[in-house]
Amino acid sequence: MQPVLTNEQLTERWPEVLDAVKQRRRFTWILLSQNGTPVGVDGQVVTVEFANAGVCDSFENSGSVEVVQVALEHILGGDWWVECTVDPNAPDSPSRQSPGPRLAREEFHQRLISRSPLNENMPVDGENDDSGYGEGSYFQHAVQKD
């Protein structure tokens, strides 16, 4: 039978859950103890709030959710599901976040290329390359032979 748990009870028992997590997986314990806070329980769902989206993603994608679920089952009994949220007041919460890291890297890369003095002489895709490295060049033949 699933135990009924209030938010206050979850907060009160959280140190025990953290200890059980630490015994199972130190990485998960570090994420939780330094960046995670239990913020609610609704039926079988425990919600943990993280300081930023990066930590939340790491938690979800590293198998840590399952580690916490097992710890909750061990400490509290019953079956539990863990959901992650990001603190809405965090500096990089989704409402205040810059475009994702990949987009930021791509924009940075494009800016570097566009500002490079070498860019003036670089051929655009489909244009003839007269740098000496195009078809028929020594470099092209050397690469093809390997």
pLDDT at 30 exceeding the cut of 50: yes
Per the domain annotation, does 58 fall within a domain?
yes
pTM of the model: 0.61
Q: How far is it, in rounded angstroms, from Cα 33 to Cα 36? A: 6
Per the domain annotation, does 91 fall within a domain?
no
Q: Under a CB-based contact definition with an 8 Å cutoff, are residues 56 and 84 in contact? A: yes
pLDDT of residue 3: 78
Segment of 58-67, 92-101, 118-127 carrying the highest mean pLDDT: 58-67
Q: Which domain holds residue 48?
A: 7-86
Beta strands in the chain (DSSP E): 36-42, 45-50, 81-86
CATH number reported for the structural domain that contains residue 65 in this entry? 3.30.300.180
101-134 per-position pLDDT tens digit: 433 445 544 544 454 444 454 444 444 545 444 4
**Residue type at 128 in one-letter notation:** N
Q: What is the mean pLDDT of the chain?
A: 75
78-91 per-position pLDDT tens digit: 899 999 999 888 76
Per the domain annotation, does 100 fall within a domain?
no
pLDDT of residue 55: 92
Q: How many domains does the chain contain in total? A: 1
SS3 of residue 9 by DSSP:
helix
Tally of residues, the chain: 146
Beta bridge partners of 81: 45
Q: Under a CB-based contact definition with an 8 Å cutoff, are residues 33 and 42 in contact? A: no
Per the domain annotation, does 36 fall within a domain?
yes
Q: How far is it, in rounded angstroms, from Cα 144 to Cα 146? A: 6
Q: What is the CA radius of gyration of the chain?
A: 25
pLDDT-derived band at 76, boundaries 50, 70, 90: very high
pLDDT of residue 141: 44
